[in-house]
Every structure is written in C-alpha cells, then in structure tokens.
Amino acid sequence: MSNGPVSLTVRGGCAHVVVDNPPVNALSRDVRAGIETAMRAALADRSADCIVIRAAGRTFVAGGDIGEFDGPLLPPDMNDVVALVETSDKPVVAALHGTVLGGGLELALGCHARVAASETRLGLPEVTLGLIPGAGGTRRLPRAIGLRKALDMIVEGAPIRAGEARTLGLVDEIVDGDLPAAAETLARSLVGTDLAPRRLGSAARATAGEDVDAILAAARARVAQSWPWSTARRAAIESVAQGVDNELDAALARERALFEQCRAGGESKALIHMFFAERDAVRVPAWAAAANAMPIARVGVVGGGTMGRGIAIVFAAAGIPTLLHDSNPAARAAARVGIDAHFKSQAERGRLAPEAAQAAAAAATIVDSLDAFAPVDLVVEAAFEQMAVKLEVFRQLDRVTRPDAVLATNTSTLDVEAIARATGRPDNVLGMHFFSPAPVMRLLEIVRTPLTGASALRSVVDLSRRIGKTGIVVGNAFGFVANRMIFEYQRQGEFLVEEGASPEQVDRVLVEFGMPMGPFAMADMAGLDVAWFLRKEIPQMRPAGRRYSALADHICERGWFGQKTGRGWFRYEAGGRKPLPHPEVDALVDAERRRLGLSPRTVADEEIRERCLFALVNEAARLLDEGLAARPGDIDVIYAQGFGFPRWRGGPLHWADAIGVAHVHRRVEAYHDAGDPWLQPAPLLARMAAEGVKFSELERKAWIRR
Ligand code: 3H9
C-alpha cells in the first residue's frame, strides 16, 4: 500500500512503514498523514505482528518540515502520530540512518525500540532554529537517557553519534549490515513481551538518582552565560522541567504551548530565515546552472603570506593537491613551516587523525617557479594588494597555465575586471575573496565580472562546497559586498568617537547588540596597517570632499597596528587579545577633536547603534540596487558568517525588516539632515519606505536585478 510519501508493506508477519519524502524525509503534513494511515493499516492487519518504521534515501526523518512553520500546523498533529505508535500493542521498532533530528528523533522515541546504522547521528536541534522540540522530545528524551544528558542535547542542539547513543541507551542496537532486517528481527523478538516499560512517554519519573533541581539550575546558568539571548533555550529547559513530574497529556500540552510561543517569536523567524538563506546563497546562479563545471583536481596558490598559506591549507585539507609559489625564497620556506605547523596542531588537538594530518600536509607542495603551475586547473592569487603586482602575476599566469584553467584573485579591494583584461582569457578569471583566517572562516565571496563565463563560475561554486566554504556570488565593485558595507559601519564608529563617544563605548554598544566584538577591537584584530595601506593606495577609500576621519591614520603613524603590536585603538598585554583602555589614544582623540574644532558631546548608546547598523542597511540597499548582491538573504549570510552579525537577529536585512524599513529610513534621513553626508538614504531604501516594502519582498516584486 502506498499513501503519498509513506508506504506500507507486510512481509513475513512484519509491517514496514517506509517514509520516502526526499531530500531529507521531513515531516510534512502528507508525511504525518501517511504515517498515521500506514500505522492504522498495520495495526488492523492480522497478518502483521510487529512493525518497523524506516525511511528511504539518505536519511531517516530529519525533522519537522521547516518550510511549514510560518503557517498553521495542519492536522494530523505529530503528537497524535507519535501516540499512535507508542500505544500500539504490536511492537514498533525504528530503523535509523543518516541524520535523525527533531521530529524524526521524536518519532523514534515513540517507538518501542531503536536500531541504528553505525554512521547515524541523532539530535534535537530545534533550539538552533529558535524553537523547542514540539512532539514530546522534552518529555521522552530524559526518560530515555537521563535528565542531565537529555538537557545537554536539547540545550546545545548538537547531534550525537550512534555509538554514544548506544552507550546512553537511546538506541538498542548498532547495525552494520542490513538495517531493515535487523529492525525486523528485533521487532519480532519483542512480540508477546510487555511493552509498557518501553513506552517512554508514560514511563514513571526517569530521574531516579539524579538531583533534578541542581541539574536544572546548572542548565539555566549555562544558558544565561553562553546564550543569554536565547528564549528558545530557556523555554526548552522549562519544558523539560515540567515534563519530569507532569502527567503525559499535560506535559505534552505545555511543551506544545511553549513550542508555539517560540514559533511566534522573532528569534525563530530570524534563525529559520538564516537556515534557508544559507542554502539559497550557495546556489549556482540560474544563468550558470546549465554550464559544465570543470573538474578541479589540482590547484595553484600564488603568495606565501598569511592569506596564501591559509588558502593552500584549505585546499590541502580537502585533499586537493596544491602547489604554492612565492617569488621570495624566505616566504616560501615560511609557508612550508606554517602549513606543516597548522596540520600538526590539528592532529595534536584531535581535530584530525595523525595520518589524515600528514596526508593533508603532503597535499601541499611549495614550488620555486610559476612554471610548475602548467598542469593546474585553478590558481588563486594572494599576492601583494597592489594593482601593478597583480597585473604582472596574472600576465605570467596566463602564460604558464593551460588556457582553460581558471584564474582567481583573492583581492579584497581591487578591480577584478581590470585584472581579467590583463589576460587572454577574461571569461576564465574571477575573484575568490577568502576571509581571514582562511582555514577558519566559512565565507567566500565569489566575484564575477561582466566578462566571467558560466563554466568558470559554476566550477568555482561547486568547488567551494568541496572545500567546506559558503561560496556566495557577488558583483565586482569596490569592496564587493562584505567590505563595502563594513567600511560604512567602521566609518560611523570613527565619526562617533570624533564627536564624543569613546572606542570602548562604541564597542560595548555593538557587543550588547550581539556582535562578537565591536568595530575597534575588530580593526585591532585584523591589523590597522592593512587598512592604512589601502587608504593611502586606493582613492575610493578617501573620496575627495567628503568627511574623513584621520584618527586611525594617526594611530598607525605611531606604529600602533593593533593586537600584533600590543597597541592600537586599545592596548594588549604581551600576546594577549583582551582589549584594555589605551589612554594615549584618548589623548590623541582629544587632540584631533581640538584640531577639528569639535567639542565633545555625550553620545547616546541608541545613536551608536543606529548610525553604525543603519549604515550597514543603507549600503546594502545600494548593493542590491546595483545588482552586486543577488538577494537580501545573501547579505544576511555574508554578515552573519563574515562578521558575526547575530544569527538570532537574522542578519542586517532581516533585522531591518523586523524593526521596520520605514523606521530605518526615517532615522538615516534624520542623520543625513543633521549633517552626515555619508548617511544619505539609498534610493532603494527610500522607495521601499515610501511603498511599505520589506527586503524579504524585493525578489518577489522584482525590484532587484540579478
Ligand atoms: C522540528 O523537528 C520540530 C519538531 O520538534 C516539532 C514539530 C511539531 N524541513 O542542509 P542541506 C532541505 S524542527 C524542510 O542542504 P545536508 C534543505 O532546505 C526541525 N526542509 O543538506 C535543502 O533544500 P534545498 C528539526 C529541510 O545534507 C535540502 O533539504 N530539524 C529540512 O547538508 C538539503 O538540506 C532540523 O533542524 C527540514 N527539516 O544536511 C534539521 N532539513 O535542496 C535541519 C533540510 O532545496 N536540517 N531541508 O536547498 C539539517 O540540519 C540539514 O539539512 C541535514 C542535511 C543535516 C538534515
């Protein structure tokens, strides 16, 4: 029997309920209805004594259907489906593989036993979506594995491996061979046994021996410390707490009420927005989707500095043979040492098996001539950030590499099209803008120029997935997307300091907003000399006739480049990273204010928040208008991954939608009217405000071009 995405077959006395709803067997309404119908049929079927629930494809059920969470949850209710399974008088065994998550694990917890393939991962990740388990997870998981461990899993939201699940008693057996057969065997063995102790929902208080109050208090303290913004985690703990003693029905009702509260809240809307935005952002653009991707089997990297080395590490870690060249022999030697040290430390920290670390280090070869790049499929250039240098490198690369090899530049500020035109293959040239440190940061801006061909773009988008990066296609304009916005944000921070705020105050306000660090600590970490060099080198960094803050220049003139020199906007103890007050910068700021004739005023925290963050939103509107970012969600992902914009606020543009585009526009306009030329409202922002349109509606309304 087949009922939409769920089928039922009976073989040798065992009914198999099979969910088949690609790609991840999410519990859509049809799946819930299908399981319910199949279960009823299996229960009524006299030829079946026991039941196995399993799933086709790459995974068991990976959770509720997130796409359905913005509307009413239509019947059947998942709690009723799980109850039908749990109260069955025929034993029901779940056969688990892949990622058994959220509602998938809740379904499995309703079964009387669970077997799992050895690679299976199991978890309740709802809090990572701003939700709590809503189908009995907070009730049943503590009864399966104890309160302490269940709270860990629910509060962290991270899955555990099958081996640990077996040790904890969450699964009964690990299976390496035929999973359905093993589940069937176990189900048969349970026929005629007392199933009552296996019904976790109605099991007696499962916390015997555990100090409930102490465990709950520790979980609450942990959330207050690590996730102070997380309403969902607090609600999850409350749900677990009430589930310890309440009757089953009351416990499930309370859990569902808390789930619904979370679902209606801004945190879940933001995190679910991020979930889909992260998946949309890495899609190959429609115009390149049909192109053939070139297999990229060997890669070359030019430049042995921090960036080149980091990029080589990324490729080598993905098992891609990588050649690295630097024209300076000392830099080549340092690159070898740096790459080896990186993989050694990965092994020492247990992040890589020793053999894997050795193999990765061996995948990177340092070469002393660019001629060695003849066989590579892709080159990433990470040479000095100067146009003349880049043009020379690209001319050489054009000569030494195969004509069909893709040539990428890691520039963060230079014109990629000008670089492409220096070669005889402009269609095979693009930007790959890695973020620092390259091995750690997931974000990768893939910069296309008007000349970039579909095949080169497709090849690099596909490759980014292989190397574990979020590769987002952006247009070619000064600063691309990430830096162009961050420059506006940092600029406002500096103006605010000129006007009377302190670097400490600006950073504190933005950290309180949810940024991992403020703009001044971030600049100190990145190295002030880098931006100083660019300000001197690149005219767009200092447009004539517009307000310019020279504070950072004055700091650099004293040789203070941030963390690496122990002084920058802040002071650092030897080798330390904690920003400490730097009185000499205060004196320098005072002098600059006098020079500018500015008498310092008290700057309200609200003004700092608005000017820094609305500057981001305003610039984003320009980027969308100019077609440099394909969708608002791409910008949200770039800011969350590149700069730590709080995911639970959904990125700058989801956040702007939530607080109101018209409000943002009004405030930007007010600051502009008060004399800040940089905060002139972007035309798109003004139009959106006038017509009541949100960023999330721009694509549907075709207000932005791709
Ligand atoms: C829940 O269960 C609530 C219950 O407690 C209560 C209910 C009452 N729904 O990530 P991928 C799509 S909350 C809908 O690229 P991977 C995804 O959008 C849920 N769609 O693959 C993508 O679509 P597209 C708790 C989903 O192999 C495609 O599947 N569960 C869902 O790297 C492939 O996804 C979770 O939070 C979903 N639940 O990773 C699990 N999941 O191809 C969330 C995926 O159109 N999901 N899609 O872009 C994941 O963590 C990963 O997707 C997973 C696979 C590990 C499963």
**Which CATH number does the domain housing residue 585 bear?**
1.10.1040.50
Residue 448 lies in a domain: no
35 pLDDT tier (thresholds 50, 70, 90): very high
The answer to whether residue 483 is catalytic is: yes
Residue 705 lies in a domain: no
102 lines ligand 1 (CB under 6 A): yes
Residue 2's pLDDT is: 67
Give Cβ neighbours of residue 649 (< 8 Å, ≥ 6 apart).
270, 514, 655, 658
Are 330 and 221 within one domain? Answer: no
Extract the tokens encoding 30.
């049809």
- Give the count of domains, the chain: 3
Task: Count the alpha carbons within 13 Å of 437 in the hemisphere toward its beta carbon.
Answer: 10
126 lines ligand 1 (CB under 6 A): yes
Are 366 and 512 within one domain? Answer: no
271 lines ligand 1 (CB under 6 A): no
Query: What are the two backbone dihedrals, phi and then psi, of residue 145, each rounded to the nearest 5 degrees?
Result: -130, 10
Q: What is the residue with the minimal CA distance to atom 44 of ligand 1?
A: 24
Distance, CA of 183 to CA of 628 (rounded, Å): 52
Exactly one of 433, 582, 654, 665 is catalytic; name it.
433
The answer to whether residue 663 is catalytic is: no
pTM over cut 0.85: yes
Residue 289 lies in a domain: no
Are 236 and 307 within one domain? Answer: no
Q: Measured in angstroms, how far is the CA atom of residue 543 from the centroid of ligand 1? A: 46
Are 222 and 370 within one domain? Answer: no
What mean pLDDT is predicted for residues 574-601? 94
Place of tokens 């056969």: 95
- In this predicted model, what pLDDT tens digit does every residue of 340-352 receive, in sequence order? 999 999 999 999 9
Are 251 and 324 within one domain? Answer: no
Residue 289's pLDDT is: 87
Is 418 exposed, middle or buried, given 0-12, 13-18 or 19+ CB atoms closer than 10 A?
A: middle
78 lines ligand 1 (CB under 6 A): yes
Given a cut of 80, is residue 3 above it in pLDDT? no
Q: Measured in angstroms, how far is the CA atom of residue 63 from the centroid of ligand 1? A: 7
**Is the separation of the CB atoms in 631 and 670 below 8 Å?**
no
- In this predicted model, what pLDDT tens digit does every residue of 227-253 receive, in sequence order? 999 999 999 999 999 999 999 999 999
Q: Is 334 helix (H, G, I), strand (E, B) or coil?
A: helix
339 pLDDT tier (thresholds 50, 70, 90): very high
Given a cut of 70, is residue 595 above it in pLDDT? yes
Nearest C-alpha neighbor of 204 from the set 245, 170, 155: 245
Residue 344's pLDDT is: 96
24 lines ligand 1 (CB under 6 A): yes
Q: Is 18 helix (H, G, I), strand (E, B) or coil?
A: strand
Residue 287 lies in a domain: no
Exactly one of 25, 412, 464, 476 is catalytic; name it.
412
For a substitution probing ligand 1, which of 19, 24, 153, 282 has the most ligand atoms within 8 Å of its CB?
Answer: 24
- CATH number assigned to the domain comprising residue 161: 3.90.226.10
Q: What is the residue with the minimal CA distance to atom 6 of ligand 1?
A: 134
Q: Measured in angstroms, how far is the CA atom of residue 276 from the centroid of ligand 1? A: 9
**Is the separation of the CB atoms in 424 and 438 below 8 Å?**
no
Residue 471 lies in a domain: no
Are 259 and 306 within one domain? Answer: no
Are 46 and 182 within one domain? Answer: yes
Are 217 and 91 within one domain? Answer: yes
Are 131 and 226 within one domain? Answer: yes
653 pLDDT tier (thresholds 50, 70, 90): very high
What mean pLDDT is predicted for residues 131-141? 98
Question: What are the distances in angstroms from CA 560 to CA 522, 569, 583?
Answer: 14, 8, 13
What mean pLDDT is predicted for residues 38-62? 98
**Is the separation of the CB atoms in 409 and 422 below 8 Å?**
no
The pLDDT mean for the chain works out to 95
530 pLDDT tier (thresholds 50, 70, 90): confident
Using CA atoms of 71, 74, 33, 26 in order, give the dihedral in degrees to the nearest 10: 20
Given a cut of 90, is residue 706 above it in pLDDT? no
Asked which of 216, 245, 264 is the last residue of a domain, the reply is 264
Distance, CA of 78 to CA of 110 (rounded, Å): 11
698 lines ligand 1 (CB under 6 A): no
Q: Which ligand 1 atom is the nearest neighbour of the CA of 121? A: 55
Residue 278 lies in a domain: no
Are 605 and 690 within one domain? Answer: yes
The answer to whether residue 433 is catalytic is: yes
Domain residue limits at 138: 2-264
Distance, CA of 131 to CA of 178 (rounded, Å): 35
The H-assigned helical ranges of 349-401 are 354-363, 387-400
What mean pLDDT is predicted for residues 271-279? 97
543 lines ligand 1 (CB under 6 A): no
- How much of the chain, in percent, has pLDDT values that exceed 70? 99
The answer to whether residue 445 is catalytic is: yes
Give Cβ neighbours of residue 207 (< 8 Å, ≥ 6 apart).
142, 146, 147, 244
- CATH number assigned to the domain comprising residue 329: 3.40.50.720
Are 153 and 194 within one domain? Answer: yes
Residue 123 lies in a domain: yes
Exactly one of 25, 79, 483, 549 is catalytic; name it.
483
Q: Measured in angstroms, how far is the CA atom of residue 245 from the centroid of ligand 1? A: 32
Given a cut of 90, is residue 210 above it in pLDDT? no
Q: What is the residue with the minimal CA distance to atom 33 of ligand 1?
A: 23
Q: Which ligand 1 atom is the nearest neighbour of the CA of 275? A: 18
Residue 597 lies in a domain: yes
Are 187 and 306 within one domain? Answer: no
279 lines ligand 1 (CB under 6 A): yes
Give Cβ neighbours of residue 252 (< 8 Å, ≥ 6 apart).
79, 136, 139, 201
- In this predicted model, what pLDDT tens digit does every residue of 555-584 receive, in sequence order? 999 999 999 999 999 999 988 899 999 999
Query: What are the two backbone dihedrals, phi and then psi, of residue 424, each rounded to the nearest 5 degrees?
Result: -90, 10
